[in-house]
Amino acid sequence: MSTLEERRVRCPNCGKMVPAMRYCIYCGAKLPQAPPIGALEVSPPSPKQAPLPPTIKVRKPFFPGAKSEIEQLMSGITVLYERKISLLDLFQSGEVSERVFLKLYREYCGKLNEYLKARSAKMDELKSSLEDKRNALSNIKMQLEELEVRTKVGEIDPATYNRQAEKLRIEERGLNETLNSLNADIKALENILGDKKPGEIYELERKLGRTKSALEKMGKEGKIVQETLKFVISDVEKMAGFLDSLIKDRKEKEKKLREELETLQTRYKLSELSIEEYERRKREIQSEIAKIWE
């Protein structure tokens, strides 16, 4: 038996004596890190630390190649979702009257619908243009093939072929560039809240869940008109459902990994795994979970 396996510490949360590892195998609480046997605990001098610069929150870049008007449209949609949720927070905390809340909330709902309609119209326009450009590109490829065949059978001389082929290839390159641009714009339009990390979207969804509970409580206590409550609850449920659809696959993946983590812990408790194996695999799974929401 190794030294690491013999050492045990008392869990500060559940009070049980457990192996000296990072987390308690019974309750999952973080364990105090005991120094290695025989090591002297020396407190290093505390150097003067320079004040840390303020943290700058950096958003992930939007899709490269998308036009600025597309990015502005999609960013506007994100902002309106955030404003609606922030307004809900203010209302449930009593910082805004129901009358003012309802006025602003309806205003934001209206603006969001306008943005979403503009997005839908733009999507239809770009997809139609994409189809036209694809047809044009296909036609050019056919013309190039036809030109080559006419040259091979002696109908067109090489000089004429080179001149006409170069003209068609220039047009072909232009169409390919246009197609790439259209695809980038369409991809950006398809990804609502694409300028937010999955973890941020998940937090918004959970916040809406808490908001719904708070609003229902306000309704029971008579702090909100029933008509207002029904309207807002319906919209909150719709928003939460939409956010869930954006991250549903990630939530399923996290669920499976957490089940795997629980199975791993059970195997360790049954002595199927050593501490080293358990800790190593546990770190790997926790790292995978963290990456899901990056």
Upper half-sphere CA count for residue 49 (Cβ side, 13 Å)? 5
User: What one-letter code names the amino acid at 159?
Assistant: A
Mean per-residue pLDDT, 91-116:
96
Domain residue extents for the chain: 1-34, 68-195
Q: Report residue 68's pLDDT band, with 50, 70 and 90 as the boundaries.
A: confident
Q: Residue 127: what pLDDT?
A: 95
| Residue 189 scores a pLDDT above 90 | yes
Asked whether residue 176 carries a pLDDT value surpassing 80, the answer given is: yes
CB 119 within 8 A of CB 189: yes
**pLDDT (0 to 100) of residue 35:** 52
Weakest-pLDDT range from 7-11, 34-38, 192-196: 34-38
8: pLDDT confidence band, cut at 50, 70 and 90?
confident
The answer to whether residue 214 scores a pLDDT higher than 70 is: yes
Matching residue, tokens 């020396």: 42
- What is the spatial distance between Cα 46 and Cα 65, in angstroms, rounded to a whole number? 50
Provide the pLDDT for residue 45.
44
Asked whether the whole model's pTM tops 0.95, one would answer no
Confidence of residue 28 (pLDDT cuts 50, 70, 90): low
The confidence score (pLDDT) of residue 57 equals 41
Whether residue 5 is predicted with pLDDT greater than 80 in this model: the reply is no
194 exposure class (CB count in 10 Å sphere: 0-12, 13-18, 19+): buried
pLDDT-derived band at 261, boundaries 50, 70, 90: very high
**CB neighbourhood size of 19 (10 A):** 17
Closest CA to 14 of 32, 28, 33, 35: 28
Cβ within 8 Å of residue 276, ≥6 positions away? 4
